[in-house]
Structure 1
Amino acid sequence: MPEGGYGWVVVASCSMIMFFAVGSFYSWGVMQAQLAAESIAQSSTLAFIGSLGVSLVSFTAIVMGRLIRWMGARKAGFLSCFLMGVGQILSSASSRNVGGLFFTNGIIVGLGTSMSFMVCSTLPSQYFKRKRGLANGAVFGAAGIGGAVLSVAQQTLLNRVGVAWTFRIIGFSVIALTFPACCFIKERMRRSTATIEWSLFSDPKFLLLAIGSAVGTFPLLVPPFFLPLYANSLGLSASLGSVLLAVFNISSALGRVSFGALCDLCGPITSLCFALILSALSLLAIWPVSSSLVPLIVFTILNGFGNGGFFSTIPSVVAHIYGPVRVTTVFSMVLTGWAAGYLMGSPVAGWLLDAYGGSGAGIAAYRPAMYYAGSMSVGSTGFILGVRALTTKRKLFTFA
């Protein structure tokens, strides 16, 4: 099996696509805060728009896997990027209409993101084995960088040209920058058909991985969706809130690359456990006491790092346990299980915030949402430790 070569070109192409595909949702918090400030809807409703788009990555995973096999990765890449760009442009016409935003930014952009995610998250595994974790980490790291750049860019655009033109400019940028990248996408081997492999439901490792990772998705979008709003509750400016979100995404990018490389050193399952533990500690021990800027920055960096590690290690875990030939099928099934966490994770946090007085009630109103998110990370860690125990016969805390 080759190690690199044209694979690094594929990694670069997938990285550009993921820059926008995942980065746009990880910068949604900036747009959410602006729309909330303009009284378009409550925070929980606006969080639902972002989470709906992300949840389609899970709801349509198996269908997208089949479409990619039928169309080929390159054509699927063009179609996915077109949907992402057009969805943002159409959102400009719905900037004062919540229902319209659910359709354009939730469904259309979400479908494009789903197909992009399936193309880019599994393709590097065809070109790498020994450096698979690093390759996946680079692709997912670009998503974190995208979230950072888009967070600051969106806030700047919102201040200068307003919501509608911000959507338009982002949409045209997606098409202009991702279409050239799609030209270099190339599959090394024919993908297995994404389907439901029923025999996996009798495999304890798969069940623990599917349940554990599904539980782990509930807290993932809570910090990026609510950081700008939380910063505002501390009396910080909207621009500083967008900078904090950018710091989160940069840390997420570093976490994706670092944990991807860690997979190659101490094993992907161990790396995933470390990422979940870091997320849980930051949510339970640091965010609840972040009543000023300095501890909030510490939380932002640590949680972003663990958050990014979750995403970059999962494909490597699947490939490690089931091999590159079955990775499309198994990853699609695991990804489908993330639907509830993606769809409901951040809205539940929003409902908890509203139930305790809303963003205007001060930082104490956020603590129930923080504890909810942290407890889900702890639960996820327990399931993944179970996977690790079943995968290796060595002691639980030896590298595997």
Structure 2
Amino acid sequence: MSTTTQLQQPELELCYFSNSNNTSRMQISDFSSSCAISTMELNHSSNRHSVSDEETQTPPRSPTPTSIAPSAPGAFSTTAIPDGGYGWAVVIAGFTVTFCFNGLINCWGVLQTALLNSTLSHVPTATLAFIGSLNICCGAAFGIFATKLGQRFGSRITAMSGITTMGLGLIAAGSCTSNVAGLFGTIGVVAGVGMNMAYTITNQLPVQYFSGKLGLANGLIKLGGGVGGTVMAIALEALVQHVGIAWTFRVQGLLTIGMELPAAWFMKDRIAPVRKAPFVDLSMFKSVPFTAMFAAGAIGTFALFVAPYYLPLFAQTLGLSSSTGAGLVAAFNACNAVGRFAGGPLCDKIGPINTFVITMVLNAVSMLAIWPVSSTLGPLLVFAVLNGVANGAFFTVFPTVVASIFGPGRAAVAMSMSITGWTLGYLLGAPVAGYILQAMGGQEKAGAGNIDVYRPAIFYAGGVALVSSCFALWARLNLAKKVAKRV
């Protein structure tokens, strides 16, 4: 039996359907009648060209899924991926969007220290760490719903709505600087949910435009977050010194709306949103590599924000000024930017899962071997550099890993499920470190230059990073046991 190729409209659409023999078929439609094509077999009695069943099995030019078949026929489809074109406008827009919201995520340690030194000096450090953690936790927990909004309303509207929500949350936080509950609501919930709506789109949209250059595209988008964190660490400290913590929040909110809304306008879907795509696809967990990477991401997030949240406090314990602490966070974020960018091309070169294993091992080693002995500025700066690179690479590499496992058609659902799996790590990771620090006596017991009280919290963070790297290695070995193989 043969599949018929007809001449109509000029865009190639590749749709996968499963039949009783589990054979993938490619239906080619919508070509203009004026378009000339090469034929495999000429039927002299008509204007149709027939293609054999064997030939219809040639895959499209996109990342080949390494996992299980789609759970519903026709639920996922994608046109031929251009690997560029308008996608570069999407990359620039994504760079701008991540610039602003990473200025909040990666710089919460600066804002937290400012609150502790002014309006909330009576509040435990771990409580304020919970505000920052709740922000990214709400973002992660909202991942699946944000994906559904993108499928229902499109990427542009979803991103613009999220940016507006985040900006308003930051502006409202300016009136709650003496109210812990108010900060939990404005920064933790409102800004967190809005941030994730935009973050989800920056993770999902590149796979519509890029295939061979997907790692580079993700790297450039995530680079914006590293650059934003670097700039904002210095800018927020300067704002706190000149206008106070309340107006610092307000200015950050206005900047978010002013910069990100115009950028989000360019975040346009290349293909129509698949409104009937599943909300959650539990069949994905039949793929051992995905299950292992899901666990690696969920566990690894417990360690990601311990360093940027506690570097300013650690610096104060060493007798360094708050400006020096902010400078360390800026250095961390600058190297975070390097990791975000370098992680993309490295994925394209040695494979995304190989890159992720290296990322988490570097994260663990920097926290277990360098931070605990950083009793002076020099070693502490080395730690900030190495951990910043590893931390930044995580956010570039993970979306590329998911796309390599399932392909572009299913990457959106898989990524939203993965981000939702980060919820506990985002919520509890940094606060658990804070409670461990508090149980050891906190800053009061630390004294000038005494970093012993920090070591249990540091070992906790390094330990979970090490466990995460083990799960990533499991996924790697499940796909290929040969060390030199690109995976």
Same fold, judged at TM 0.5 (above): yes
In structure 2, the CA distance between the partners of 1:305 and 1:335, relative to structure 1 (3 Å rule), is same
**Unmatched runs of 5 consecutive residues or more in structure 1:** none
Q: Which moved more, 1:101-110 or 1:65-74?
A: 65-74
Is 1:167 aligned with 2:225? no
Return the offset for 1:151. Answer: 0.9
Does structure 1 retain, via aligned residues, the 8 Å contact 2:234–2:326? yes
2:459 to 350, 371, 389: 371
Does structure 2 retain, via aligned residues, the 8 Å contact 1:388–1:396? no
Partner of 1:22: 102
Partner of 1:187: 269
Tell me, in whole angstroms, the C-alpha distance in 1 between the residues paired with 2:357 and 2:207: 21
In structure 2, the CA distance between the partners of 1:45 and 1:207, relative to structure 1 (3 Å rule), is same
AA at the equivalent of 1:5:
G
The alignment yields a C-alpha RMSD, in angstroms, of: 1.1
Does structure 1 retain, via aligned residues, the 8 Å contact 2:336–2:390? yes
Partner of 1:217: 301
Q: Which moved more, 1:75-84 or 1:216-225?
A: 75-84
Return the offset for 1:107. Answer: 0.4
Tell me, in whole angstroms, the C-alpha distance in 1 between the residues paired with 2:434 and 2:404: 36
Does structure 2 retain, via aligned residues, the 8 Å contact 1:216–1:376? yes
Partner of 1:4: 84
Is 1:236 aligned with 2:324? no
2:113 to 25, 33, 37: 33
Partner of 1:200: 284
Return the offset for 1:40. Answer: 4.8
More helix by share: 1
AA at the equivalent of 2:140:
S
Tell me, in whole angstroms, the C-alpha distance in 2 between the residues paired with 1:132 and 1:398: 19
Is 1:399 aligned with 2:481? no
Does structure 2 retain, via aligned residues, the 8 Å contact 1:40–1:98? no
Return the offset for 1:191. Answer: 4.1
Partner of 2:140: 58
Q: How far does the alpha carbon of each residue in 1:267-310 deviate from its partner, in whole angstroms, 9 at most, with x for none?
A: 00000011101100100000000000000000000000000111
Q: How far does the alpha carbon of each residue in 1:7-36 deviate from its partner, in whole angstroms, 9 at most, with x for none?
A: 111000011111112231111100101112
Partner of 2:77: none
Does structure 2 retain, via aligned residues, the 8 Å contact 1:268–1:317? yes
Which structure has more relative contact order (CA 8 Å, sep 6+)? It is 1
Does structure 2 retain, via aligned residues, the 8 Å contact 1:93–1:164? yes
Tell me, in whole angstroms, the C-alpha distance in 2 between the residues paired with 1:57 and 1:319: 21
Tell me, in whole angstroms, the C-alpha distance in 2 between the residues paired with 1:398 and 1:202: 23
Q: Where do 1:1-400 residues align within 5 Å?
A: 1-38=81-118, 39-192=121-274, 193=277, 195-362=279-446, 363-392=451-480, 394-396=481-483, 398-400=485-487
Tell me, in whole angstroms, the C-alpha distance in 1 between the residues paired with 2:409 and 2:421: 21
Question: What TM-score comes out, normalization by structure 1 length?
Answer: 0.98
Query: What percentage of aligned pairs have identical amino acids?
Result: 42
SS at match of 2:328: helix
Return the offset for 1:122. Answer: 1.3
Does structure 2 retain, via aligned residues, the 8 Å contact 1:191–1:328? no
Tell me, in whole angstroms, the C-alpha distance in 1 between the residues paired with 2:117 and 2:378: 25
In structure 2, the CA distance between the partners of 1:397 and 1:45, relative to structure 1 (3 Å rule), is farther
In structure 2, the CA distance between the partners of 1:88 and 1:44, relative to structure 1 (3 Å rule), is same
Q: How far does the alpha carbon of each residue in 1:196-236 deviate from its partner, in whole angstroms, 9 at most, with x for none?
A: 11212332222211111111100000001111111111110
AA at the equivalent of 1:30:
V
Does structure 1 retain, via aligned residues, the 8 Å contact 2:346–2:355? yes
